[in-house]
Amino acid sequence: MQRISRTSFFETLEHRQLMSASTALSGTFVYLETNNPTANAVVAYSQNPKTGAISALPTYKYLTGGKGYENVGSILGPDDSDKEVIASPDGKYLFAVNQGSNSVSVFAIQPDGSLRLVHNAPFASGGTQPVSLSFSNDQLFVVNRGNSANGVVGTIAPTVVSFFVGEDGQLFKASSVTLPLNLSTAQVLASADGKFAFVDNFATPGNLGVSLADTVEPFVINGDGSLTAVPNGAAGLPSNPPLVLGLVEDPIHHIIYTGEAPSGGVATFTYSATTGKVSYVDSVASEGAATCWLNISPNGKFLYATDSASDAISVYSLANPLKPAFVQEFYLAGPTKLWHTPATSPTSQDFQFSFDPSGKYIYVVNHTTDPNFQEGNQIHTLDVAANGKLSEPTGPSQFPASLVNGVTHVDGIAVVTPAGYYGGYASSVAQVVPAAQVAPATTSVFSDDDTKLKALVDQLLDGTVS
């Protein structure tokens, strides 16, 4: 009989357990960026599919090669954007903006959730302060917001730049469109059919008279990758001030929803399937303030939006997609210097958020608005009920000061199942941050019976059992 080594035996046994564990583990990973103004980085976490809790990967910090943006004083404009971090639909690549160094980083997502910066990355964004990304038909669309802000007259206009994405993740510039000076364009959204790209022409209160201010503006995506503005195709809100922020498309209908800030609520727009022309339909109010960024549940039944000034998430039913119906105002858990109610402005405010693919969990990024309250930089895990309502069984995890300080505003979040995921395990994975509210991951790849089997085989190989 051939004798096998202890190492070979246990490698075989562990491999069997890893493969069987793949049926219990989701293979879902959560990515966000630190936005550090000196050395930006993407941080990576694995998800526990049974609880939604996230834990840092063994190596969880990946430098982008670029810089984030330090928004001292939390001035309106530089932080007001969405989709700073996105993944390609096939789960192969992760894209992240470097707002402070005018570039976009591309990472290859490995099957275990780790990241590898692709050759030549980061790539020039084609403008100033890239803040939003969208992907369609092997093209990446980038919004560069320019440099205007509330109380700051802009000297550099925003741009929308399109890139072709190569097989190895390389970016090749296809075209660039310049928008009016003193807009703070906040988001780009490629339509589900790949025919149009829509931009959110946000304008800060001091720049409301700018052309196309606070409109949803459509562009045709041409076959050569270039963008052509739809003549007279933009539409805005009838409210004053309008302050459009955020874009999300209904998965079935030619409908776009936006946030209404600071009034609080969601606006509904339709667009022509042939021309892309946008038309305003209606608005619905929330109980919170400063409604901004939006997502739709994977089943298409509910719409969610951040009410940043209230540190809350508003929930709407899409039973009638042209008239979202308010369902819930969910206030996030602390800590915060001012406990969040509709009447206060907390020092920890929610910004970007994302669903996991199952639709059971939402991950929300908060950042501090007070440089002396670093604890305001947080990530929340919310449970989603069948009726769309939210709960937060455990409090948020706080990002340690070693990762982000009080003047750094964490932003962007993507929840991804990598291409070629083959299963994995969370044994001995470190806690994301030292937050007492969240229990560390304790999942083991070995059942009690397997542990006993290993102990018995260890004795057999040692000769201690005949």
Phi-psi region of 246 (alpha: psi -120 to 50; beta: other; left: phi over 0): left
Residue 344 pLDDT grade (very low, low, confident, very high; cuts 50, 70, 90): low
Query: Whose CA is closest to 140, among 119, 155, 126, 158?
Result: 126
CA 268/CA 255 separation, integer angstroms = 7
Give the other-Cβ count within 10 Å of 122's Cβ: 23
Among 19-28, 146-155, 431-440, the range scoring the smallest mean pLDDT is 431-440
Token readout for 114 is: 């780790």
CA 180/CA 159 separation, integer angstroms = 9
pLDDT at 45: 97
Give the other-Cβ count within 10 Å of 195's Cβ: 18
Average pLDDT over residues 147-173: 96
Q: CB-based contacts of 231: which residues, under 8 Å, 6+ apart?
A: none
- Provide the β-strand partners of residue 161: 142, 176
Length of the chain: 466
Query: Whose CA is closest to 95, among 120, 67, 64, 119?
Result: 64
Q: What is the gyration radius of the CA atoms in the chain, in angstroms?
A: 23
Token readout for 225 is: 């990758």
pLDDT of 25 above 50: no
Residue 338 pLDDT grade (very low, low, confident, very high; cuts 50, 70, 90): low
pLDDT of 276 above 80: yes
Work out the burial of residue 451: count CB atoms within 10 Å of its CB; fewer than 13 is exposed, 13-18 middle, 19 or more buried.
exposed
For residue 111, CA distances in Å to 6, 27, 50, 357, 381 come to 27, 8, 20, 16, 23
pTM above 0.75, yes or no: yes
CA 276/CA 278 separation, integer angstroms = 6
**Percentage of the chain exceeding pLDDT 70:** 82
pLDDT of 56 above 70: yes
**CATH fold of 28-330+400-419, please?**
Methylamine Dehydrogenase; Chain H (2.130.10)
Break the chain down into helix, strand, coil percent, rounded to 5: 10, 40, 55
pLDDT at 20: 31
Residue found under tokens 């503006």:
217
Among 58-72, 393-407, 419-433, the range scoring the smallest mean pLDDT is 419-433
Continuous segment of H or E residues that includes residue 16: helix 6-21
Give the other-Cβ count within 10 Å of 229's Cβ: 17
Q: CB-based contacts of 444: which residues, under 8 Å, 6+ apart?
A: 425, 427
CA 249/CA 358 separation, integer angstroms = 19
pLDDT at 452: 46
pLDDT at 26: 57
User: Which string of b and e fits 326-363 if b means at least 16 CB within 10 Å?
Assistant: bbbbbbbbbbbbeebeeeebbbbbbbbbbbbeebbbbb
Residue 257 pLDDT grade (very low, low, confident, very high; cuts 50, 70, 90): very high
Per-residue pLDDT of 190-222, as tens digits, reads 999 999 999 999 999 888 889 999 999 999 999
Residue 158: asked if its preceding bond is cis (omega within 30°), the reply is no
Residue found under tokens 């969910």:
330
| Helices 6-21 and 448-462: angle between axes, nearest 10 degrees | 170
